[in-house]
Structure formats: C-alpha cells, structure tokens
Structure 1
C-alpha cells in the first residue's frame, strides 16, 4: 500500500497542477485583420422563410405588443403586419439593394393616430433601397444609407 501511495500521490498532484495550467497567450487580432467568419452575404435565399420584428422605426423604439413584423414568404414575396394591419407584397433583393413593390394591406379600424408607428413602418418599407445584415439584425436603409428600420430575427 505504501508503494501505491508513493506513486499515486505525485501522479494525482501532477494531474491537479496540469488542470490549473494557463494556456499560452495567443497573438491579439488587430482591427485591420479580417475576421475568420465574415458576415453572411445578404441574398433572397438567405431571407426566404425568415421572420423579423421591428425594434426601431426611424430611430424610435417600437411599441411593445404591437411590433411590426416582416416575413419573407419566398425569395421575392413578403408578408407581415404593421402592428394592426396585415400586408403582402413583393421584394427585390440584389446585392445590398432592396426594394419592396406595392404592398396590399388590410383596412382594419385600428386605434392608431395618423403618422403613428404603423404609418412610419409602411413609409419606411416604401423608402427602403438598401439592406444590411448584421448577425440577427436586418437593417433597412434609404438610398443614402440612413437607417429606417432595425429588425430582429425571430426564427
């Protein structure tokens, strides 16, 4: 038994110390070094089947419970809700260029004020000319690159 302890104790101590070892430092990446995983390229195929919820519209946070939503039903078809009224329509995405076609919306009598969140959302869709994907966020931008809507992916 003494012989076993003479061998087992140093072995156990070596294992404990090895587990506490700190890995060698890796060189830090610089801002000019490209990241290993680039942002996904924004294509109609990437968006097809995705569902998005508007977090900000024209720089203002969307009202809870009535968040406008945008669904890519296919590569060139969208549907969603402005918060009250539902809509369907077309979308054309080429490289970073995005344009929504005419949208057909329901005409529900909503308790919203003119120029409110739903109107701003529909206006932002009409003014959209570019799009940018950043992780789980989809930014809709006007022709000059000004953010109109920030959408969060739901699925």
Structure 2
C-alpha cells in the first residue's frame, strides 16, 4: 500500500470540507398555486401604476383556470398543462379604460396567444413561445 504525502492529504481534506458547504438550495415554485407578478414582457421591464395594480397571474389546478390582472382589468381563462407544454385558452377580461398601462395590458394578451411552454427557475416563471423564447417573465409574489 502506497502512503500519500501529508500535504496531499491536507489538500484533499481541505477540498472536501470546502465542498461540504454548498450554496443555498434553489427551490422551484410550482406553476400552479402561487401568484406570479409580471416582471418582463417582450424583453422590456413591466410597469405597474401602483403595487396593488401590478399585473399578475395565478394558475388554479383544481379548476384548470388561470386568473389575474393585466394591471387595470381582471382576466381569466382556461389552460391545459402537459409537462412543460402549456396552452392558454381564450382569455377574457373586464373592459375598464385606465389612464395608464393599457398598452402593456394589450401586449400581455397578445403574448398569451404565443405561449406553448413554461419554465420555472427558482421563483421565476417564464412563459415561452414555440421557439423557446420568453414572451413574459413573472416572479412569485411573497
């Protein structure tokens, strides 16, 4: 049996101790359940006229319904989920006219029509198009 030099053993033990302290685990939120606050839309930062008017979505598993707000109007519709495949059904919304945010709300509805997939990384949800490009990014609300 070959004896290893003490410096090698020390270096090996130090390396193992360093490996034992791993970074905090990233938890992946489920798609269904949390409220998802819109943070980016079409590559641009999302805006809200006030915190209580922030655009968001929530996927309700039992009803297979998605509900939320575009920032001005409440919205809702059906969805189907098959692994990473996501299809949003016809989305309906209230019809209030708001002085700010209507362009973003209309762009959000247009983005819904492009969604074919989804991905959650930690507390970030991305709705993706057929090419795998993000059409909308959300963050789990705390």
Q: 1:84 aligns with which of 60, 64, 72?
A: 72
Larger radius of gyration: 1
In the other structure, the counterpart of 1:142 is 129
Query: Over aligned residue pairs, what C-alpha RMSD do you find?
Result: 2.5
Quote the Cα distance in structure 1 between the aligned partners of 2:26 and 2:83.
15
Is the partner of 1:107 in helix, strand or coil?
coil
1:113 deviates by 6.8
1:89-132 per-position Cα deviation (integer Å, ceiling 9, x unaligned) = 11111111111001110011111476x11111111112111101
TM-score under structure 1 length normalisation: 0.68
Structure 1, unaligned stretches of length 5 or more? 1-22, 30-36
| Other structure's SS at 2:14 match | coil
**RCO comparison, higher one (Cα < 8 Å, 6+):** 2
Does 1:51 find its partner at 2:56?
no
Gaps of 5+ in 2: 1-12, 20-24
Residue of structure 1 equivalent to 2:14? 24
- The two structures have a TM-score, normalised by structure 2, of 0.74
What CA distance in whole angstroms lies between the structure 1 residues aligned with 2:17 and 2:84? 34
Structure 1 stretches of 4+ moved >6 Å: none
Aligned residues: 121
